[in-house]
Structure 1
């Protein structure tokens, strides 16, 4: 019998924590699913594959697939190609989901035919004292509750926790699967799908624990670096600005520091022109970089005369910038966008 849900689970050298992930899936209150677990050429002496095969021998819903070195994007695409479900759920080997996760997400997709992707709130599974930045990201991602908030938030960072999502197999076929490149595969997918008009949703329940082990790809792989994020988002942001900025291709950028300027410069390679920078540091105000003056933030033009892109990213700074621009009559998505 064809299952309703196919869980895409790429694994590599995951023998230590894989049992917890599998047990959390097998404990689901909704049983009509299959797990396509792709061993992406683990080199741990067969330990990961042995765990997969042991579980597959205990439960026929688990399909262990031994693959060559594909990378996470290739492993996910292989799992999707072999899947049979109407809905595709993501899961990582170092995370764990709550028993109601698959049922609640499938029910949402059943009841919301226009929704392509549904996520959920997630719980940070690390030490916030050691991984403060990651903990802040989890807190921020949980605040993005609507499609509109996620669509605008996507230019700051990925608006969904990748292992928390479920999407329609038809959307995956229509919008395209994962791409391998010098960027995070999930972030590229979200930006591309949003650009193509996909609709996102997020359940208010916390249904996944998003763990933070030392070997997590986001910590070890250069494709997940901040520079890779900014290089990737620039093309999609430039396209969004072309459609939504009445002053296109001209923008004013918040943040005049060297790192911020370098990240904003990616936009220029896509035809965007930076008119000026805004800053609050008196040492920067009055400087000129490549013909672009640094203005005091209080000198921002009235709304209707400029479009602002904020690249500030220090903790709390984005919220401060949003509050300031809102107080000046600017509105997110109409007169400014945050990309830091």
Structure 2
């Protein structure tokens, strides 16, 4: 029986150092009926020639040059050239375990349309992985193992770009790569969430994620913190905001202040709470800072929590539980 065709989309720019490992890992996949649409996003090193050498030897590899610039334009081009019934992404500096395509495809076959297949990730780096990245990996994998990725979608991108596979018609139904909102992988994840596509639980490591100092997620302005706040607010206001309830920001640090300024610019009223006695009673941006116990005077509310400290987050969750409030309905952690 003929295997279904899977289209793998890769934008690349100046990653000649890592492309050999990436391409070999795709060539070695146990699911062999794939096509690679790989787009050179204006590289200035030898990346294009390196990929071209592989394309000459393997007709499954189809190399193009970006007609514009940036990851989104490259993805649009790659997708427009794709012929597969299933679509997946890959980053040019990462590595696929050889069972990745087979596992993702089999999971989609088992669960059917309106599902996202994903897998666990594992960071690696020549310089070693920082404690922060290791904790992120553990947090992300704990969600994917249970398929509960959406439960913390306002914290971070819970379905990273190189870790998913989807039926092409399902991707088309949510406008594929047409929106030009960065970070593009986070925007796509929110559109998965909006469409109520179910995340298939997975306990296998299916993506080896390379970290290094010049990786785009570290250096590109499109992935700066404010971009993440913008996209979180955009989708919160579109999908989960209940205008009939008072909106309360919890936290008066830099992130809380950024959220407050953006809400003010959008003419969306809010109340503001914290547990810092030095700030309580003061006005920031003409909004009075109240103690967090103020929530007990509100019968119904929605709260955006901007407190990043993990220990404090546990305490805040416990407090909300005592008030019989539910995550992703009454309160939303934005960090």
- Provide TM-score, normalisation by structure 2: 0.90
Cα 1:316/1:218, change in 2 over 3 Å: farther
Q: Does 1:257 align with 2:253?
A: yes
SS of 1:172 mapped into structure 2: helix
1:53 match: 52
CA RMSD of aligned residues (A): 2.5
Give 1:269 shift.
4.2
Q: Distance in 1 between matches of 2:43 and 2:127?
A: 30
2:225 match: 226
Q: Does 1:167 align with 2:166?
A: yes
Q: Distance in 2 between matches of 1:127 and 1:316?
A: 31
Q: Distance in 1 between matches of 2:3 and 2:64?
A: 18
1:42 match: 43
2:272 match: 276
Is contact 1:146-1:202 (8 Å) kept?
Answer: yes
- Provide TM-score, normalisation by structure 1: 0.88
Cα 1:216/1:258, change in 2 over 3 Å: closer
Q: Distance in 2 between matches of 1:269 and 1:107?
A: 47
2:100 match: 101
Give 1:146 shift.
7.5
Cα 1:182/1:77, change in 2 over 3 Å: closer
Is contact 2:39-2:65 (8 Å) kept?
Answer: yes
1:307 match: 302
Q: Distance in 2 between matches of 1:149 and 1:273?
A: 31
Q: Deviations over 1:227-262 (max 9, x none)?
A: 1110122121112233xx3743x2111102244122
Q: Deviations over 1:29-62 (max 9, x none)?
A: 1111111111112111xx1112111212222211
Give 1:141 shift.
1.5
Unaligned runs of 5+ in 1: none
Q: Distance in 1 between matches of 2:62 and 2:164?
A: 20
Cα 1:146/1:288, change in 2 over 3 Å: farther
Cα 1:320/1:17, change in 2 over 3 Å: farther
Give 1:315 shift.
4.4
Cα 1:17/1:320, change in 2 over 3 Å: farther
Q: Deviations over 1:266-308 (max 9, x none)?
A: 244445321232x222212222334533233344317843222
SS of 1:253 mapped into structure 2: strand
Number of aligned pairs? 334
Q: Deviations over 1:132-163 (max 9, x none)?
A: 43333222221223897322322111111211
Q: Distance in 2 between matches of 1:281 and 1:128?
A: 38
Of 155-164 and 328-337, deviating more is 328-337
Cα 1:239/1:55, change in 2 over 3 Å: same
Unaligned runs of 5+ in 2: none
Is contact 1:128-1:135 (8 Å) kept?
Answer: no
Is contact 1:119-1:203 (8 Å) kept?
Answer: yes
